[in-house]
Amino acid sequence: MSDQAHTEKILLGLEHALDRNDLEGFVQFAKQIPIQDVADFLFYLHSNRRVDAFRLLPRDLGVQVFAYLDPEVGEGLIGNLDDHERQHLIAGMDPDDRAALLEELPEKVAGQLLTALPADEQALTKRILAYPEDSVGRRMTNEYMAVRAEWTIAQALEHIRTHGRDAELLAVIFVTDEQGLLLDSLRLRRFVLGDPGATVESIMDRKFSAVRAEDDQEKAVETLQHYDLLALPVVDANNHLIGVVTIDDIMDVASEEFTEDFHRQGAVADLGMSLREATIGLLWRKRVPWLVTLVFFNILSGAGIAYFEDTLEATMALVFFLPLLIASGGNAGTQSATLMVRALATGDVRMQDWMRLLMREITVAISLGLTMAVAVALVAWARAPEVAVVVGLTMTCVVLMGSLVGLLLPIVLSKFRCDPATASGPLVTSVADVCGVLVYFSIATWYLGIGQIPGE
Amino acid sequence: MSDQAHTEKILLGLEHALDRNDLEGFVQFAKQIPIQDVADFLFYLHSNRRVDAFRLLPRDLGVQVFAYLDPEVGEGLIGNLDDHERQHLIAGMDPDDRAALLEELPEKVAGQLLTALPADEQALTKRILAYPEDSVGRRMTNEYMAVRAEWTIAQALEHIRTHGRDAELLAVIFVTDEQGLLLDSLRLRRFVLGDPGATVESIMDRKFSAVRAEDDQEKAVETLQHYDLLALPVVDANNHLIGVVTIDDIMDVASEEFTEDFHRQGAVADLGMSLREATIGLLWRKRVPWLVTLVFFNILSGAGIAYFEDTLEATMALVFFLPLLIASGGNAGTQSATLMVRALATGDVRMQDWMRLLMREITVAISLGLTMAVAVALVAWARAPEVAVVVGLTMTCVVLMGSLVGLLLPIVLSKFRCDPATASGPLVTSVADVCGVLVYFSIATWYLGIGQIPGE
């Protein structure tokens, strides 16, 4: 059993064997732990030592370990191998992993590696690369098992026994007709538990789900998760079976999609790679667009203040409460946006629910706003009683406005087929800031009766 | 195949059958689509019609559909059933689902339902409920298949055929000794593909992972995802097999954990339920603590401004750039925090990497700060040239400070065993705001030479 203490002992053994360049010892230790742990060991090594360690692995084990390496780490590693090592590695990889890797490599290197492949593998790889990025086609494998409806279960099992050894996943078996039309998708258990003399037809229920190779990977995630499947058949336009996506790949996609949403919600463009491996230049490029975009909103806030300069000069105490008021609107807005973005992503709420959600949000926001208003009006009363009413009134308004911006922005974005997660905390906060400044000084000008609203 | 058009036709059929209270028609339509789609149909009905629809389902189908209903919806539904219906439903449920439901129900109702169960089911349910919330024990099932190492593969398959019909998952078969000690965890395919005459021992590699019933569910998610497993054995302190958690449950846990992190990052306390079903009171309670907490930080910002009142009165133009500068620090901080929180959650970066990450962050933040400084100094130059240098200098400082707060806060929280996601955008923004105010007016007071720093 791979418990913590055992794994750590092995990792230390690997470390020492690597230090002494002890091939035999290294392999012996590596074989005692799951492949994923060997990949982890390589991941945390310095890149020079990583190449040395990888070279100590027997070829087949190397190919398997490589599949679990972070893509950027793998890319760096492959750059340090010689032509012969590289070709062997590429030839041994799963078609979907190979396609993903080749796309990341410099075009010239990728081209050389592709031509060195056997003709059928070459064609397969090119076919996968022809599908759009983030499509199901990029993640599918053709190493599945299909049987025929008219066979007996015994015949099907015999077929699986003879041809199933290389399939990536056997937990799900597909049923097709002679033309390859997909008829059903059944768990292996049904064959094991079934009456050997009965036909495959007799255990079919045809209640299966499938995706198209051109479909977005997100659709595969939703379908697989919704129906609790272990694998999802991929079909062409004529419903012919052309591949399969498995649950482990789908869990990786789900995790990547979530990271993307999470980053977007924090106003960071999709990194597309590990934070650990990201360069300074990449991080700058992924962060600067939103920072600069938001500057424009914030300049509007400044312009709003400038417009109300007379009001401000008449009652300087107003400025002390400015950060508090605009921040509260932004915070309430961030909360609403966060709740909506996630609920839309999980399908918990649907677009057509927006009216009901809006009504509820107004009630919640007014309650929150009044709670906050009482708190800050008391603070204001103690420090600057002349603005207490203005501050309390403004608080209620900004929390309401911020919440509505937070609720509606993701819905509007979704309506225009943009990712609702683009309604990030910082964006909602900036919009709420502008509104907050205008409302605050309008109320102050009106309540404190400081001349006319300027410009009138 | 369950494609969109077909499913929609069936859903319409269900709707009409329900309107006409047509039992036979309803059941006929319901049987044509996956159980999950029937549950979805109920989910989107008004609660009165939901009870009517549920009553139209045959008992066994009802139990299956119930398992896929949102917990709050299920809870509401069960409140509208009579005692007899309720007891039947509870008795038919999977032990883990049953335990989860009973805990949500009012204590008196739950107690009645529990005592109505058969003795063995009652004991099992109580055992599950004794495990801590969010522990693996709460999600495990005892409906697994275990075989013995000394059996032949043919014997093992025969055992699976005879006893496997009720197991929740057969894709993974466990190997135990006569005392129930867990020896290995093997995919069903190994048995199907193996030589029937060979022993189970011969196909074992003992490189399996297991979790304890007391472990956090998050550990099960990580382990299962890291090792690409379909099910994870659950053991007691003596490594005896006591249950199994399956990948579909784990995907649900992963999704719930995502939602929790996502909400936390937006300063919303864990809702613990569907946003769609959340009441106004619940939403208020989950949002108000952070909003009020953040008020205190923002009062500090106000106090900072008050402290520098002389500087501000001498150069009113400073206030126009206040929202812009403090917001930029907050935005940069939100970005850093978002990147760190997610990287810590996925294990992409480890605590011991913090020094390297800090160095990189300083470089990235200074580059970002200088970019932004140039942009705003140009704007300031055009509108209020007397403060352009102050604004540019401050921008560089606040972006750097905000970024460092965003990077370090999740690390510090993690160090103190708090959830790093507590370093939400709004929290980081509020901290950055306070720092921003102080830095801005300090630089202004110094550069513009407005008397002494007040208080000196």
pLDDT of res. B450: 67
Selected residue of B176, B190, B283 to mutate for chain A interface (largest A Cβ count, 10 A): B283
In tens, the pLDDT along A247-268 reads: 988 988 998 888 888 888 888 8
Distance CA B343, CA B351 (A): 10
pLDDT of res. B3: 67
Residues A283, B349: C-beta atoms closer than 8 Å: no
- Residues in CB range of B375: below 8 A, 6 or more apart: A292, A295
Q: How big is chain A by its Cα radius of gyration, in Å?
A: 30
Query: Given pLDDT bands bounded at 50, 70 and 90, which one contains residue A3?
Result: low
Work out the angle between the directed axes of helices B217-226 and A247-265 (0-180°, nearest 10): 120
Q: Which amino acid is at A120?
A: D
pLDDT of res. A4: 72
pLDDT of A302 above 60: yes
pLDDT of B417 above 90: no
pLDDT, average across residues A234-238: 94
pLDDT of res. B331: 93
Distance CA B172, CA B311 (A): 72
Q: Which amino acid is at B251?
A: M
CA-to-CA separations, B446 to A74, A173, B439, B441, in angstroms, rounded: 52, 75, 11, 8
**Residues A168 and A143: beta-carbon distance below 8 Å:** yes
pLDDT of res. B271: 78
Residues B291, A334: C-beta atoms closer than 8 Å: no
Q: Return left, alpha or beta for A239; rule: phi > 0 is left, psi -120 to 50 is alpha, else beta.
A: left
Query: Given pLDDT bands bounded at 50, 70 and 90, which one contains residue B154?
Result: very high
DSSP-based three-state secondary structure for B11:
helix
B422: chain A residues, CB-CB within 8 Å: none
In tens, the pLDDT along A346-360 reads: 888 887 888 888 999
Q: Which amino acid is at B180?
A: G
pLDDT of res. A380: 85
Q: Which amino acid is at B121?
A: E
Average pLDDT over chain A, rounded to an integer: 89
Residues A343, B276: C-beta atoms closer than 8 Å: yes
Contact status of A196 with chain B (Cβ, < 8 Å): no
pLDDT, average across residues B297-325: 87
Nearest to B437 among A34, A323, A340 (CB): A323
Structure tokens at A315: 């009652």
- Residues in CB range of B403: below 8 A, 6 or more apart: B332, B333, B335, B336, B361, B364, B365, B368
pLDDT, average across residues A54-59: 91
Q: 3-state secondary structure string, chain A?
A: CCCHHHHHHHHHHHHHHHHCCCHHHHHHHHCCCCHHHHHHHHHCCCHHHHHHHHHHCCHHHHHHHHHCCCHHHHHHHHHCCCHHHHHHHHHHCCHHHHHHHHHHCCHHHHHHHHHCCCHHHHHHHHHHHHCCCCEHHHCCECCCCEEECCCEHHHHHHHHHHHHHHCCCCCEEEEECCCCEEEEEEEHHHHHHCCCCCEHHHHCCCCCCCEECCCEHHHHHHHHHHCCCCEEEEECCCCEEEEEEEHHHHHHHHHHHHHHHHHHHCCCCCCCCCCCCCCHHHHHHHHHHHHHHHHHHHHHHHHHHHHCHHHHHHCCHHHHCHHHHHHHHHHHHHHHHHHHHHHHHHCCCCHHHHHHHHHHHHHHHHHHHHHHHHHHHHHHHHHCHHHHHHHHHHHHHHHHHHHHHHHHHHHHHHHCCCCHHHCCHHHHHHHHHHHHHHHHHHHHHHHCCCCCCCCC
Query: Given pLDDT bands bounded at 50, 70 and 90, which one contains residue B373?
Result: very high
pLDDT of res. B456: 41
Minimal-distance CA residue of chain B relative to A172: B171
pLDDT > 90: percent of chain A = 45
Distance CA A99, CA A350 (A): 36
Residues B363, A280: C-beta atoms closer than 8 Å: yes
Q: Which amino acid is at A151?
A: W
pLDDT of res. A381: 86
Contact status of A186 with chain B (Cβ, < 8 Å): no
Distance CA A97, CA A70 (A): 11
A430: chain B residues, CB-CB within 8 Å: 327, 331
Average pLDDT over chain B, rounded to an integer: 89
Q: What are phi and psi of B199, to 5 degrees?
A: -85, 160
pLDDT of res. B7: 82
Closest CA–CA distance from residue B4 to any residue of chain A (Å): 10
Alpha helix ranges (H) inside B164-246: 188-193, 217-226
Work out the angle between the directed axes of helices B322-346 and B388-415 (0-180°, nearest 10): 30
DSSP-based three-state secondary structure for B143:
coil
Residue showing tokens 């996943």: A169
Nearest to A262 among B187, B230, B342 (CB): B342
Query: Given pLDDT bands bounded at 50, 70 and 90, which one contains residue A345?
Result: confident
Domains of chain B: 4-134 (1.25.60.10), 146-255 (3.10.580.10), 275-447 (1.10.357.20)
In tens, the pLDDT along A364-415 reads: 999 999 999 998 888 888 878 888 899 999 999 999 999 999 999 999 998 8
B193: chain A residues, CB-CB within 8 Å: 160-161, 164-165, 170
Query: Among A37, A114, A40, A97, which residue's Cα sits nearest to residue A63?
Result: A97
Contact status of B370 with chain A (Cβ, < 8 Å): no
- For β-strands B211-212 and B146-148, DSSP reports them as unpaired
**Residues B401 and B439: beta-carbon distance below 8 Å:** yes
Residues A426, B330: C-beta atoms closer than 8 Å: yes
Count of other CB atoms within 10 angstroms of residue A280: 14
Closest CA–CA distance from residue B447 to any residue of chain A (Å): 21
Distance CA B201, CA B193 (A): 15
Distance CA B31, CA B89 (A): 19
Residues A331, B426: C-beta atoms closer than 8 Å: yes
pLDDT of res. B455: 45
**Residues B383 and B321: beta-carbon distance below 8 Å:** no
pLDDT of res. B451: 52
Contact status of A301 with chain B (Cβ, < 8 Å): yes
pTM: 0.84
Distance CA A40, CA A162 (A): 34
Contact status of A282 with chain B (Cβ, < 8 Å): no
Structure tokens at A97: 């992993």
**Residues B399 and B369: beta-carbon distance below 8 Å:** yes
Residues A192, B192: C-beta atoms closer than 8 Å: yes
In tens, the pLDDT along B44-82 reads: 888 888 999 999 999 889 999 998 988 788 888 888 888
Residues A372, B303: C-beta atoms closer than 8 Å: no
In tens, the pLDDT along A60-112 reads: 899 999 989 887 888 888 888 888 888 889 988 888 888 888 888 888 888 88
Residue showing tokens 């319409």: B12
Alpha helix ranges (H) inside B214-308: 217-226, 247-265, 280-307
In tens, the pLDDT along B88-132 reads: 899 888 888 888 888 888 888 888 888 889 998 899 899 999 999
Query: Among A340, A68, A171, which residue's Cα sits nearest to residue B187?
Result: A171
Residue showing tokens 């677009």: A351
A371: chain B residues, CB-CB within 8 Å: 284, 288, 291-292
B267: chain A residues, CB-CB within 8 Å: 331, 334-335, 338
pLDDT of res. A212: 95
- Residues in CB range of B289: below 8 A, 6 or more apart: B269
Residue showing tokens 């199901």: A136
B371: chain A residues, CB-CB within 8 Å: 284, 288, 291-292
A429: chain B residues, CB-CB within 8 Å: 327, 330-331, 425, 429
pLDDT of res. A160: 94
**Residues A408 and A333: beta-carbon distance below 8 Å:** no
B39: chain A residues, CB-CB within 8 Å: none
**Residues B411 and B343: beta-carbon distance below 8 Å:** no
In tens, the pLDDT along B240-295 reads: 999 999 998 898 899 888 888 888 888 888 877 788 778 888 899 989 988 888 88
CA-to-CA separations, B40 to A32, A278, A347, B189, in angstroms, rounded: 46, 41, 11, 33
**Residues A335 and B252: beta-carbon distance below 8 Å:** no
pLDDT of B454 above 50: no
pLDDT of res. A455: 45
Q: What are phi and psi of A242, to 5 degrees?
A: -120, -10
In tens, the pLDDT along B219-245 reads: 999 899 889 999 999 999 999 999 999
A342: chain B residues, CB-CB within 8 Å: 259, 262-263, 275
pLDDT of res. A268: 87
pLDDT, average across residues B174-195: 95
Strand order across the A231-235 sheet: A211-212, A231-235, A241-246
Sign of CA dihedral A225, A228, A231, A236: negative
In tens, the pLDDT along A163-212 reads: 988 887 899 999 999 999 999 999 999 999 999 999 999 999 888 999 99
Contact status of A270 with chain B (Cβ, < 8 Å): no
pLDDT of B381 above 80: yes
Distance CA A42, CA A36 (A): 10
pLDDT of res. B277: 77
- Residues in CB range of A208: below 8 A, 6 or more apart: A182, A184, A185, A233, B1, B2
Contact status of A34 with chain B (Cβ, < 8 Å): yes
